Structure 1
Amino acid sequence: MRHTPDYAVGDAEWVKTLVRENPWASIVSYVPGKGLVASHYPVLLEEDAEGIVLVSHVGRPDERLHELGQHELLVMVSGPQGYVSPGWYDVSPAVPTWNFAVVHAYGTPELLSDEENLAVLGRMVEHLEGPLPEPFLMTATLENDGYARRIVGGTVGFRMKVDRFEAKEKMSQDKPQAVVDRVLDRLREPGPYENRALADRMERVHHPRRGTENA
């Protein structure tokens, strides 16, 4: 990530909220002899842990590709993001930009046992199914539970205490409020760059009370 203080976020609670709301992550490691290795999996917070602790899993054989547990891992989580046209500003001069929220989290993971991994997978399903009117839970029936236990061996769970992180949230904070409001309107209009999720995120940054009501 670009090493400037612009839009930098140092708040661990901000990071936790981003992960809760956007659990899809890119996992990257450098493996001697192989170079960079990248995978993509959902991640979950260990809510009762001190600091920021992520739990997840990889499908076999990704644990061997990453040499999981033997060295530092980079986990990247992004929130809503998208293109912002200078034509929306109604001011000159102006240039195109991209708004985004992202965190780069670093740590060395520890591998989980099958039982620990199964528990994490169950919590992850509960987290993702929770918003649905009829959640489909892994342990809802004996059949589901038995199936989950049969397939858990195809994954390797891990727990990663975040040793350090870099985070940024760029949501047009450098623009006058009138410009921000025009961008919000355009992001909510039908068209090639309609992006209501990004608009809602910007709303929370610029109008916290109103953004909370819209969330």
Structure 2
Amino acid sequence: MLRSPHYRLDDVTEVRRLVAGHPWATFVSATSQGLVASHYPVVLDPADPDGLTLVSHFGRPDDEYHELGRHEVLVVVAGAHDYVSPSWYPAGELVPTWNHVTAHLYGTPEVLDEEENYRMLCHLTDHFERGREGGRSLLEDEEGTRRTARGTRGLRLRVTRFEARWKLSQTKPATTVANVVRELEPVNPDLAAEMRAVHPGCPVRG
């Protein structure tokens, strides 16, 4: 990850917001057989309301491929991102870039037992079903969903360190930032909003 100090994001609250808003994560493990990567949803553990603890699950046999619980893993969470064209810059600036908000989260997963795993899967399902019209619950068929749950391995991961970046044109002059935001607004409003948050003087849409 680019380590320029202009883009460092050290605020745990902001990283929690990133995870909450972009729950589809990439898990990377350096196993005895080499690198392994998988993709699963993550949510913040409600038992750790101020810290940075994730809960998720792996489908079997991914847990064995990752040697889950035996070593540290990397969890990559990518937020809003997009290409930034030099055509949005003043004449003479020709180098494009990619603006993004990204976090690399590290920790050794705790593998949940069967009962904890089922509770976690209920929580995960309820989290994403909440607010949906006709939202469903695993408890509507507990016997059946418990059988299905045996094909998964739940995990809890307390993040012991992280590297996060928000690369949002911090090195550009205010007039250039404002123009980039204007160009992004109709096609990527989430990234435009992230830029306005980092550049409080940037004009709002209007």
TM superposition score normalised by structure 1: 0.86
Give CA-to-partner distance per residue, 1:99-158, whole Å, 9 cap, x none: 01111111111100122111112222222222434433333xxx4433321200011001
Counterparts of 1:203 and 1:134, CA distance in 2: 36
Partner of 1:37: 36
**Cα displacement (A) at 1:91:** 4.1
Structure 1 window deviating more from structure 2 (34-43 vs 126-135): it is 126-135
8 Å CA contact retained: 2:40, 2:58? yes
Partner of 1:186: 183
Counterparts of 1:209 and 1:181, CA distance in 2: 6
8 Å CA contact retained: 1:16, 1:52? yes
8 Å CA contact retained: 1:204, 1:210? no
User: Counterpart amino acid of 2:36?
Assistant: V
User: Counterpart amino acid of 2:71?
Assistant: H
For 1:3-152, list aligned pairs within 5 A.
3-32=3-32, 34-49=33-48, 51-139=51-139, 143-152=140-149
Which segments of 5 or more consecutive residues in structure 1 lack a partner in the other structure? none
8 Å CA contact retained: 2:84, 2:99? yes
CA-based RMSD: 2.2
Partner of 2:195: 202
SS for the counterpart of 2:3 is coil
Counterparts of 2:126 and 2:195, CA distance in 1: 28
8 Å CA contact retained: 2:20, 2:43? yes
Identity percentage over the alignment?
45
Structure 1 window deviating more from structure 2 (70-79 vs 1-10): it is 1-10
2:154 corresponds, among 152, 157, 165, to 157
Which segments of 5 or more consecutive residues in structure 2 lack a partner in the other structure? none
User: Counterpart amino acid of 2:196?
Assistant: E
User: Counterpart amino acid of 1:105?
Assistant: L
User: Counterpart amino acid of 1:81?
Assistant: H
The aligned length equals 204
Give CA-to-partner distance per residue, 1:39-83, whole Å, 9 cap, x none: 000011113326311111100000100100011111111101110
User: Counterpart amino acid of 1:12?
Assistant: V
8 Å CA contact retained: 2:6, 2:171? no
Structure 1 stretches of at least 4 aligned residues deviating more than 6 Å after TM superposition: 208-211
